[in-house]
């Protein structure tokens, strides 16, 4: 700070000196003209006529003094020029530092806003539109983690170079931070397809493998495009850089959620989606704390005898704001925000406690997300939980989906083995919807295969094609793995399945998933509850109340 102030004072001082020097030089020139006009003719005359009468000595001295002053003034002027040039260069450098991203040489976030506003104004004058193209590299963190930051930096530079090579003259490329870039792209209003072609070229060009420091790196991008319209058409509203950035960002996140490596135009509905998503995220975190997640139970039955064998635990969220929410909505979000293990453990704890009143022959199946299986301590955590809840491992059945097998079969195998050693059963859920190979199936010691309900529901028609179901049943028999059929909705399906062999089944035909209290009543009716006196009392009361209502009617 003092240094800065010192510099300012120096600057003021030299400016003041410059003004004085300029004044002196101007005065000297005026005087030079005055004295010179008197003295120079006298000198010339002395030279040409050879007279000894020299010029006036005082005037000559004044003239020499003037010349000295003019030289002084001139030198000062040159110094001043040099100083101005240095300052201009420094200012230019400072501006660059403030506006240019040092790694990639693109505009930075700050100048991107300014440049976008300028581009919008220019486009309006030329009756064009602006597409703000928000680009985010997919899984860039992994590139950094696996190969180091130096390689990560090189990937960013290469991606920027490839995008920059495709830019038309009047487009701008900026790095907004991290692995996020933006392209400001002017286009003819009626030709959004030009934008789409350009975006596709961007995606293709960056996706080509890069050789970086001896590594072969492939990177994809998610892109959101905004032009102030809803979608690629619609009414144009007043746009500014902030708004376009905001909308393109929302569209980019939409592209991420839809599976990455793609682009979307901004749509107004996405904004609601995002709001809902934020509500979900905060709601889930809070809901876990407050115990809003509760287990429901779906019956699993021996289809031939009709005997109840156990239940599949299905999570439900009774959100005070959103009401009952399906796991198909909140499970993926819980996975993404990293709370799935916590959520799942809480549900299992409740389920083990609920099941303590049930007949000990009844099993509990729980769904385990692929994210949980990535935790190297997963099997230990489950065993610890069983111990804490004093729940027999033999009554627990863990359902994992085929998608878990793509990640790391080795890890999954050792996890399955250590759980099985303790008596826990493992089922392969939703079989037929993933792509597990026969070799994988054979090498993994599953206890059971569950046929996905999409295949089972095909048996609805009496003359339905049952080949896939038959093939899975045959496969199960060959691998010595019993079968559970999910999604048995009616008697036609049930009868077809019965004719195909022995298996467990579940589905709406046997009833919808029920909460713990309803399950208790069901089990009490069927004599499958470990007798707890107050439950019997409760049921007697309830029956009496119902009878009273019927009588009064």
Note the residues at the interface with Ca ion (CB under 5 A): 367, 399, 429-430, 486
Q: Which residue, judged by CB position, is nearest to ligand C2E in the bound state?
A: 507
Q: Which does 249 bind (CB under 5 to 8 A by kind): Ca ion, ligand C2E, none?
A: none
Phi, psi values for residue 101, rounded to 5°: -75, 120
Interface with ligand C2E, residue 323, by CB under 6 A: no
Interface with ligand C2E, residue 367, by CB under 6 A: yes
- For Ca ion, the closer CB: 175 or 425: 425
Residues between 448 and 507 that touch ligand C2E (CB under 6 A): 453, 486-489, 507
238 to 130, 265, 267, 336: CA distances (angstroms):
12, 17, 16, 35
Interface with ligand C2E, residue 432, by CB under 6 A: no
Identify which range of 184-192, 252-260, 321-329, 383-391 contacts ligand C2E by CB under 6 A: 321-329
Interface with ligand C2E, residue 328, by CB under 6 A: yes
# residues near ligand C2E by CB under 6 A: 22
**Which tokens is 249 given?**
């960002």
Beta bridge partners of 217: 210
Q: Which does 136 bind (CB under 5 to 8 A by kind): Ca ion, ligand C2E, none?
A: none
Interface with ligand C2E, residue 369, by CB under 6 A: yes
Q: Which does 331 bind (CB under 5 to 8 A by kind): ligand C2E, Ca ion, none?
A: ligand C2E
Nearest residue to 447 (alpha-carbon basis) of 410, 414, 473, 484: 484
3-class SS of residue 313: strand
Q: What ranges make up the beta strands (E) of 125-252?
A: 128-137, 172-177, 180-188, 210-212, 215-217, 221-226
Interface with ligand C2E, residue 300, by CB under 6 A: no
Q: Using N-to-C axis directions, what is the helix angle for 327-336 and 268-290, rounded to 10°?
A: 80
Determine contact, residues 132/182, Cβ cutoff 8 Å.
Answer: yes
- For ligand C2E, the closer CB: 93 or 460: 460
d(CA 5, CA 322): 60
239 to 59, 120, 122, 227, 441: CA distances (angstroms):
73, 8, 13, 8, 56
Start-to-end Cα distance in the chain: 91
Interface with ligand C2E, residue 315, by CB under 6 A: yes
Residues 6+ positions from 303 with CB-CB distance below 8 Å: 485, 488, 494, 497, 498, 502, 503, 504, 505
Q: Which does 487 bind (CB under 5 to 8 A by kind): ligand C2E, Ca ion, none?
A: ligand C2E
Q: Which does 267 bind (CB under 5 to 8 A by kind): Ca ion, ligand C2E, none?
A: none
Interface with ligand C2E, residue 429, by CB under 6 A: yes
Phi, psi values for residue 211, rounded to 5°: -95, 110
Interface with ligand C2E, residue 346, by CB under 6 A: no
Other beta carbons within 10 angstroms of residue 428's beta carbon come to 25
**Cβ 385 to Ca ion shortest distance, Å:** 19
Which of 152, 183, 513, 523 forms a contact with ligand C2E (CB under 6 A)? Answer: 513
Interface with ligand C2E, residue 136, by CB under 6 A: no
Interface with ligand C2E, residue 327, by CB under 6 A: yes
Computed from CA positions of residues 165, 190, 270, 240, in that sequence, does the dihedral angle turn out positive or negative?
Answer: positive
Q: Which does 369 bind (CB under 5 to 8 A by kind): Ca ion, ligand C2E, none?
A: ligand C2E
- For ligand C2E, the closer CB: 120 or 355: 355
Q: Using N-to-C axis directions, what is the helix angle for 378-389 and 409-421, rounded to 10°?
A: 20
The binding site for ligand C2E (CB under 6 A) comprises 298, 314-315, 326-328, 331, 344, 347, 367-369, 429-430, 453, 486-489, 507-508, 513
């Amino acid at each position: 700070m003092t240094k800065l102030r010192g510099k300012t004072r120096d600057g003021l001082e030299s400016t003041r000196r410059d003004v004085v020097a300029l004044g002196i030089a101007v005065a000297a020139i005026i005087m030079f003209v005055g004295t010179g006009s008197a003295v120079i003719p006298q000198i010339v005359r002395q030279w040409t006529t050879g007279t000894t009468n020299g010029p006036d000595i005082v005037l000559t001295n004044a003239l020499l003094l003037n010349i000295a002053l003019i030289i002084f003034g001139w030198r000062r002027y040159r110094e001043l020029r040099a100083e101005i040039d240095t300052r201009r260069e420094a200012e230019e450098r400072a501006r660059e530092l403030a506006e240019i991203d040092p790694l990639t040489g693109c505009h930075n976030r700050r100048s991107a806003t300014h440049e976008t506003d300028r581009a919008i104004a220019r486009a309006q004058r030329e009756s064009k539109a602006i597409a703000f193209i928000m680009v985010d590299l997919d899984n860039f963190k992994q590139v950094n983690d696996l190969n180091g930051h130096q390689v990560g930096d090189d990937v960013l530079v290469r991606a920027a170079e490839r995008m920059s090579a495709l830019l038309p003259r009047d487009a701008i490329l900026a790095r907004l931070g991290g692995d996020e870039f933006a392209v400001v792209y002017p286009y003819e209003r009626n030709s959004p397809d030009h934008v789409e072609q350009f975006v596709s070229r961007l995606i293709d060009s960056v996706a080509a493998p890069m050789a970086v420091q001896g590594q072969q790196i492939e990177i994809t991008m998610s892109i959101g495009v905004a032009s102030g319209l809803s979608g690629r058409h619609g009414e144009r509203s007043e746009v500014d850089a902030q708004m376009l950035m905001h909308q393109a960002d929302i569209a980019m996140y939409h592209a991420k959620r839809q599976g990455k490596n793609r682009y979307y135009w901004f749509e107004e509905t996405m904004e609601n989606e995002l709001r809902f998503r934020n509500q979900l995220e905060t709601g889930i975190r809070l809901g876990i704390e407050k115990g809003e997640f509760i287990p429901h139970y779906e019956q699993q039955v021996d289809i031939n005898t009709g005997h109840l064998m156990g239940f599949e635990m299905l999570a439900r969220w009774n959100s005070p704001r959103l009401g009952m929410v399906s796991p198909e909505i909140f499970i993926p979000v819980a996975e993404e925000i990293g709370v799935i293990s916590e959520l799942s453990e809480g549900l299992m704890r409740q389920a083990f406690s609920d099941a303590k009143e049930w007949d000990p022959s009844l099993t509990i199946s729980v769904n385990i997300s692929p994210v949980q299986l990535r935790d190297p301590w997963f099997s230990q955590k489950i065993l610890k939980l069983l111990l804490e809840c004093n729940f027999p491992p033999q009554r627990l059945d863990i359902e994992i989906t085929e998608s878990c097998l793509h990640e790391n079969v080795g890890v999954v195998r050792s996890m399955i083995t250590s759980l099985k050693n303790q008596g826990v059963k493992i089922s392969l859920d939703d079989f037929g919807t993933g792509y597990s190979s026969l070799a994988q199936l054979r090498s993994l010691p599953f206890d059971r295969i569950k046929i996905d309900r999409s295949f089972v529901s095909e048996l609805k028609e009496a003359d339905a094609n049952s080949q896939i179901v038959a093939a899975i049943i045959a496969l199960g028999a060959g691998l010595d793995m019993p079968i559970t059929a999910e999604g048995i909705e009616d008697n036609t399906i049930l009868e077809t399945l019965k004719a195909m062999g022995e298996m467990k089944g579940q589905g709406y035909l046997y009833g919808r998933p029920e909460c713990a209290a309803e399950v208790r009543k069901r089990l009490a009716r069927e004599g499958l509850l470990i007798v707890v006196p107050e439950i019997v009392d409760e049921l007697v009361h309830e029956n009496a109340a119902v009878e009273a209502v019927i009588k009064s009617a």
